[in-house]
Structure 1
Amino acid sequence: MDIASFKGQAAIVTGAGQGIGFEIARQLAAEGAGVVLNDIDALLAQKAAAAITATGGACVAVPGNTADIAVIRQMIAAAVQHFGRLDVAIANAGITLFGDFLTYPQESFNQVLQVNLGGTFFLAQEAAKQMISQGGGGSLLFTSSVTGHQAHKDLAAYGMTKAALEMLAKNLVIELSAHGINVNTVAPGATLTERTLHDPGYEKVWSQITPMGRPATTADIANAVLFLVSGKARHITGQCLIIDGGWTSVSPSPF
């Protein structure tokens, strides 16, 4: 992609202290965007932003829980303050709380909904209001999951939220297309991140059951995200792109 493709634009990426979110933020900054980087871990957010600025990117950290609308508004304000506008908002923050359906606690259920759904819904709402007020349209992107397409053991609540995000993107086509804002989702499959690499069997198992022979890298996901929020994808909206090396076509269980 042309390095000037995001020049003069500003983007928010939540859940970007490491993993997929960090790679998205890093690539956006490398392509010329000013980036507001969020993570619930303040130290991780600051380190991630510093790593991006150290390589010449424009990035500021706004740590906090994206389930809190005050934090979302801080991110919008930071984008306007530092970069003068907001063109792209990527709701990547999410939590995975495993648990058997029959014993799943209400506290875990509410937490998963508040972060995965509430954080995404209200980031989209606040970002869209800013994009409409400044004019010129924009792009929203939500991180879903293959668990929103295929059942996965002990992830009933999580998978439900990810399927819901894809429906939210479809519904916002009705609400936001007239303002030149497109809305899409990506659904990553097994991906090698700092978290999954702590599991010594993760890469081996997923390499065996993924048709393409390996799990995704964070770059695999970020490459797709950057396309969907770029000017090259302005006529794509309400869609979900599954990035899983073919796993959902055959869906063997990792257990």
Structure 2
Amino acid sequence: MKRFSQQNVLVTGAGTGIGFGICRSFALEGATVALNDKDENLARQAASTINKEIGTDSVYPYGCNVADIVQVREMVKDFTGKVGGLHIAVINAGITNYGPFLTYTPEAFDTLTSVNLRGSYFTAQAAALSMIEHKHAGRIILMSSVTGLQAHINLSAYGMTKAALRLMAKALALELGSYQITVNAIGAGATITERTLSDDPDYERNWNSVAPNGRTGYVEDIANTALFLASAEARHITGDTIMVDGGWTVYSPVPSQHPTEQHK
């Protein structure tokens, strides 16, 4: 039997990139998965791609913006009604917007926090309530970042949200522990995805040059960490954040040739 057979999993922000990789990994390990993305067509395409690969229709697409709490609750209700509860929630949905502190706008701040903070918090709440209702010992995994540990120019607001998710993992672990629900976060470092390669075609070479282990992260590095935190082997780990960054946060340099928006 595969590791996550008879396990129901929700992954948000999963149309592409890290979220898609996490969905695919759980599905390959036998889980039934709700794949969420704010773009409904992208969610459907992503779910179809995984279902074709594994040969079953075990991935369900859901198009909704996690900033809309009503939609989130409806998604969780619909999915759990179909499959009989929820065991694992990987709260990956998040947005990034750059901007120097002195000119950063309230509109940009509200857009960012509505997804990264309110969306994460209330998705976790909906997931936890389902786990408790169905008496499932559950796993909630939040997606933090190295930017929640080390400051970056023009990413003050984004970094604040990612730091908040680390504390959220601690606070929710404290409140949900008696229900046998663990809550942890993943601190993702530089990772090769469609978006990062679009921003910088030399992304891998640039970040290889500053990583202590000489390599840039791949989506499977993050997905494998999510699988571990969701597994029985991690049953005694809660309230923690695992940094998956090749040791980058040891000293945290930025590649001089990396064409990001951080210097704008």
Deviation at 1:213, TM superposition (A): 1.3
Shift of 1:212: 1.4
Distance in 2 separating the partners of 1:79 and 1:230: 21
Stretches of structure 1 that go unaligned for 5 or more consecutive residues are none
User: 1:110 offset after TM fit, Å?
Assistant: 0.7
> 1:68-107 alignment to 2 at 5 Å?
68-107=68-107
Distance in 1, Cα, partners of 2:82 & 2:219: 27
Residue aligning to 1:248: 249
Residue 7 of structure 2 corresponds to which residue in structure 1? Answer: 9
Aligned mates of 1:77, 1:53 — CA distance in 2: 22
Q: Tell me the equivalent position of 2:22.
A: 24
Partner AA of 2:195 in structure 1: R
Is the contact between residue 67 and residue 114 of structure 1 (CA under 8 Å) also seen in structure 2?
yes
Q: CA RMSD in A?
A: 1.1
Match for residue 163 of structure 2? 163
Work out whether residues 174 and 239 of structure 2, in 8 Å CA contact, stay in contact via their aligned partners in 1. Answer: no
Residue identity in the other structure for 1:84: G
* Aligned-partner SS, 1:62: strand
Task: Name the TM-score, length of structure 2 as normaliser.
Answer: 0.93
Deviation at residue 254 of structure 1 after TM alignment: 2.8
Q: Which residue is 2:38 aligned to?
A: 40
User: Which stretch shifts more, 140-149 or 225-234?
Assistant: 225-234
Q: Does 1:212 align with 2:213?
A: yes
Q: Report deviation, 1:68.
A: 0.6
The percentage of aligned residue pairs carrying the same residue is: 49
Aligned mates of 2:255, 2:152 — CA distance in 1: 9
Structure 2 partner of 1:127: 127
TM-score by length of 1: 0.97
Cα shift at 1:232: 1.4
Say whether residues 1:229 and 2:230 are aligned partners: yes
Offset, 1:80 = 1.4
Query: Does the residue aligned with 1:112 lie in a helix, a strand or coil?
Result: helix
5 Å-filtered alignment, 1:108-119, equals: 108-119=108-119
Q: CA deviation at 1:42?
A: 1.4
Secondary structure of 1:166's counterpart equals: helix
Report the AA paired with residue 29 of structure 2.
Answer: E
* Partner SS, residue 38 of structure 1: strand
Amino acid at match of 2:221: D
For 1:143-222, list aligned pairs within 5 A: 143-198=143-198, 199-222=200-223
| Equivalent position SS for 1:227 | helix
Q: CA deviation at 1:193?
A: 0.2
